[in-house]
């Protein structure tokens, strides 16, 4: 059973799948929550999503570093 998407940014209706897709296709250039918003075509508003997005960026960077180390 597929897990439904979860909103990360309620103000801009950005869900976790969209964030992960942006991070996966950003080639490392998307390294801040503001960059995620820009890639999604919007701007941060209330800012409550910024810590969650920062955590998702760190996860992606850590996974990428492990993948490079394993090469
Ligand atoms: S939840 Fe993202 S700006 Fe408000």
Provide the pLDDT confidence category of residue 1 given band limits of 50, 70 and 90: confident
State in Å: Cα 4 to ligand 1 middle. 20
70 band by pLDDT with thresholds 50, 70 and 90: confident
For 32, the token pair is 């801040």
Tokens at residue 57, please?
């960026």
33 or 63, which is more confident: 33
pLDDT in tens, 12-61: 999 999 999 999 998 778 999 999 999 999 999 999 999 999 999 999 99
List the domains of the chain with CATH numbers.
7-70 (1.10.10)
Q: Tell me, using a 6 A CB cutoff, whether residue 11 lines ligand 1.
A: yes
pLDDT of residue 26: 83
The per-residue pLDDT for 64 is: 84
Q: What is the spatial distance between Cα 43 and Cα 12, in angstroms, rounded to a whole number?
A: 8
Task: Compute the distance from residue 2 Cα to the ligand 1 centre, in Å.
Answer: 25
């Amino acid at each position: 059973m597929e897990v439904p998407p979860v909103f990360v940014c309620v103000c801009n209706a950005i869900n976790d799948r969209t964030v992960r897709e942006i991070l996966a296709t950003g080639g490392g250039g998307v390294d801040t929550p503001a960059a995620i918003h820009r890639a999604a075509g919007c701007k941060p508003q209330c800012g409550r999503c910024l810590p969650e997005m920062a955590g998702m960026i760190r996860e992606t960077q850590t996974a990428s570093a492990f993948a490079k180390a394993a090469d």
